[in-house]
Amino acid sequence: MAVWLISLFSLTNEAESIQGDLLEEFSVLAAKSGAHSARGWYWRQTIKTLPRLAGFGFRTAPWITAAAVAGGYLLRKLVAPLVDTVTFAVIERYPVLFEHHFRAYLFFASTGLDIEHLITFLLIGFIVAFVARQREMVATIVLALIWAAFALSGSAYAVIRSGNDELLWRLAWYIADSFAIVVAGAIVRMHRLAVKPRPVA
Amino acid sequence: MNLFYIVEIMRERDYLGEFEHIIVLALLRLDDRAYGVTVRQEIELRTDREVSIGAVYATLDRLEKKGYVTSHRGDPTPERGGRSKRFFRITAEGAKAVSRTHRALQSMTEGLGFIRSHP
């Protein structure tokens, strides 16, 4: 898991050296102090290393990463209303069907809509990750955090205004949307790592 | 005064940051044995502070971008799971930058006797 995280966040040319260095020190530590202690050390190193790798990835290509995040945000703004419009257009197109299958109607108008938004976020995550070459995780995590921040503040505002704390349940979907963006980033990164040949010494 | 001259002057005045300074000194100490593991261990040994491998690489990459350090890959080894080492070496520009920084620090600390009495 820790090795996988390092490969997700590091630039392709440095992942090999960092993983090799960690493994080399891990083997020495495991022989000296035991596997448990060595695993703890490995995880501490990984957790401290990830923000550094993310920061370095951003600093080496700030404009393309920022453009991918901004583009993803705007795309989401553009596409979100269309999801609702298309769903309700389909419902209205087949009124007889939904009159006989009221449960299906309820599903499409509530949970179905949430699932469609989730898929939309996943697709936007793919596009953002595709644009932010080698910085897939940085770009998608930043976009997910921005979206989560908006969702949190919006939900808090809605609950305070309406006094209806059941609205907080909506947050679970919003957080899932943000998570979908990051998952898309990880999928694209893993795909790129799988197709890219290892650098020649 | 042309632009290239200004850039050259700015480069001349570029000092190393604290961690950059420490990393470059570690490279000088390790000479041709300098790669991620040895650099990290050398710093931990001499400064008594825990350093992450990510911090070492982020700084080395930054120094390489500035032209103060060069790197080359060694052969893959079995104890590293078939992964190669990335060796680092200081350039002439890097050596100039470290002396410049050292001179500036020496000049700033000159006459400040309290440093010796406050470890």
One DSSP character per residue, A114-132 reads HHHHHHHHHHHHHHHHHHS
Whether B62 and B87 have beta carbons less than 8 Å apart is answered as no
pLDDT value for B91: 92
Chain-chain contact of A51 with B54 (C-beta, under 8 angstroms):
yes
Q: Other CB atoms closer than 10 Å to residue B20's CB: what's the count? A: 21
Q: Given a cut of 90, is residue B88 above it in pLDDT?
A: yes
The pLDDT-based confidence of A52 (bands split at 50, 70, 90) is confident
Phi/psi zone of residue A163: left (φ > 0), alpha (ψ -120 to 50 degrees), beta?
Answer: left
Q: Choose the closest CB to B81 out of A23, A49, A51.
A: A23
Residue in chain A closest to B79 (alpha carbons) equals A24
pLDDT value for A58: 83
| Integer Cα distance of A133 and A189 in angstroms | 9
Q: Which of A24, A46, A53, A200 is most worth mutating to test chain B (most B CB atoms within 10 A of its CB)?
A: A24
- Provide, as residue numbers in chain B, all residues whose Cβ is less than 8 Å from the Cβ of A50: 54
Q: Given a cut of 90, is residue B89 above it in pLDDT?
A: yes
Mean pLDDT of chain B: 83
pLDDT digits (tens, 9 = 90+) for B26-39: 999 998 889 989 99
The pLDDT-based confidence of B115 (bands split at 50, 70, 90) is low
| Integer Cα distance of A130 and A136 in angstroms | 7
Q: Given a cut of 70, is residue A80 above it in pLDDT?
A: yes
Tell me the C-alpha to C-alpha distance, in Å, between residue B4 and each of A98, A186, B10, B35: 72, 42, 10, 34
pLDDT value for A82: 83
pLDDT digits (tens, 9 = 90+) for B9-25: 555 567 888 899 999 99
Q: Choose the closest CB to B83 out of A16, A25, A51.
A: A16
State the smallest CA–CA distance between residue A67 and chain B in angstroms.
Answer: 23
Please state whether the predicted TM-score (pTM) of the whole model is above 0.80. no
Q: Given a cut of 80, is residue A186 above it in pLDDT?
A: yes
User: CB-based contact (8 Å) between B44 and chain A?
Assistant: no
State the smallest CA–CA distance between residue A71 and chain B in angstroms.
Answer: 27
Q: What single letter denotes the amino acid at residue A88? A: F
Q: Which of B37, B75, B79, B83 is most worth mutating to test chain A (most A CB atoms within 10 A of its CB)?
A: B83
Percent of the residues in chain A that have a pLDDT greater than 90, as a whole number: 11
State the smallest CA–CA distance between residue A16 and chain B in angstroms.
Answer: 6
pLDDT digits (tens, 9 = 90+) for B51-71: 989 889 989 988 998 899 999
Q: Given a cut of 50, is residue A150 above it in pLDDT?
A: yes
Q: Choose the closest CB to A25 out of B37, B81, B86.
A: B37
Winning range, highest mean pLDDT, from A100-104, B70-74, B103-107: B70-74
| Integer Cα distance of B88 and B73 in angstroms | 9
User: CB-based contact (8 Å) between B86 and chain A?
Assistant: yes
- Structure-token pair, residue A42: 């490995």
